[in-house]
Chain A
C-alpha cells in the first residue's frame, strides 16, 4: 500500500515527467528558462497550483456533473492561478516581473488541466495530492535544469552568481528563442539516447496526457495516421 502511494509521487518525477517524457507544458518551459531561478520559480508556482487544483477537483469530483466538467475545472484552476498571481505580485515582485505574462498562462498549462481530467477526477484527495506534487516536482526539476543550462551558456552565471570571470563572452543566443528550442532538443535527444529510446513513449507529440482528448477526438494522433 505504501509502495503504491510512493510510486504515485515518484512517477511524476522521472517515469512520467510531464515535460521531458509526456511533453506537456512546453510553452512556459521554453519561455521562462532563461535562468535557473526563473525556471525554479515557475516550477514552484505551477506545483502550488497543481497541488491545490488536484485536491480541490478530487474533493468536488462527485459534485461536478459531467457536462460542465471542463468549465468547472477551468474556473477552479483559474482561481488558484489568480491567487498565486496576487501573492507573487505582493511578496516576490522580482519573480513576478521576470515571469510576467507566463504566470496567468499557467491556467492553460496542459499539465494542470490534464492531471485534473486524468487523475484527480477519478482518485481520492490524498492520491491526487501526491500525483500533483510529483508532477509538480518533476516539472520544477526539468525547468530548473533547463534554466541552469541556458543561464550558464547564455549569461555565464548560475543562480545569478558569476561563474565565468569575464574571460569569455557568454552566448546570448541561448537566452533567446532559438537557444530555448535547441537546449530542449538536445536534452530530449540525450534522454532518448541514454534510455535507448524507451523513455520517451511519445515519439511525436500525441494525445496521451493532453486534456482535450475527449473534445477533439484525438486529432493529433489522427494527423499522424494520415501521414
Chain B
C-alpha cells in the first residue's frame, strides 16, 4: 500500500508527466486554454491511460515475454492504444452521448499522444505489478490533469495581459510559464523524500 502511495505521489507531483517529463506536450499546449476543455482533456487522457494499462500489461506479461518477442512491444502497444481509442469513441457515441460530447472529441488526439504510450512502456520498464501499473497510469493521468487545469487558469490571465513583449507573444510566453510551473513542482521532490525517505 505504501508503495502505491509513493508511486502515485511521485508520478503526480515529482515526476509529473507534463512538467517534468515533457510527455503529452501537444495537447497540453493546444487545449489548455479554457478550464472546461482542459478538464475534459485531462479526464479523457486519464481514462485512456488506465484502460491502456489494463490492456497492455497482461499482453506483455502473458504474451510478449513468454514468447520472447519483447521487441514487438512498440508495435503491439501502439496498435492496442489506437484500437482502444477507436472502440471507446464508438462506444461513447452510442451509449453515453453526453460523455461523448464533453470527452469524446479529444479522443483522436490522444492516440498520438506520447503520454499514453509512455505510461504503458514505463509500467513494464519499471517492473510494476498489475496493481501498481494501474495506479501508476491513473496517477500519470491525474498529474496531466493537474498540470492542464493549473495551466488553463494561468493562460486565461496571460492572454488578457498587455505586458508581454512582442517576440514572446503566444508560444514563448506559454513555455516560460510552463518553465516556472515546472520549477515549482520540483519542490515536491523534497516533500516526497521527507515522507518516504
Contact = CB atoms under 8 A, between A and B. Distances in A.
Q: Chain A interface residue count: which class?
A: 35 or more
A105 B179 contact: no
A63 interface: no
Contact of A192 (B122, B167, B183): B167
Given A177-B186, A226-B34, A212 B111 contact: yes
A165 B125 CA distance: 38
A81 B74 CA distance: 8
Given A71-B79, A108-B112, A176-B186, A101 B122 contact: yes
A220 interface: yes
B117 interface: yes
Contact of B112 (A82, A110, A206): A110
Contacts of A75: 75, 79
Contacts of A184: 175
B171 A27 contact: no
Interface of A: 23-24, 26-28, 30-31, 70-71, 74-75, 78-79, 81-82, 85-86, 101, 104-105, 107-110, 113, 173, 176-182, 184-186, 188-190, 192-193, 197, 200, 202-206, 210-212, 215-217, 219-220, 223-224, 226-227
A74 B78 contact: yes
A185 B172 contact: yes
A108 B172 contact: no
Contacts of A24: 26
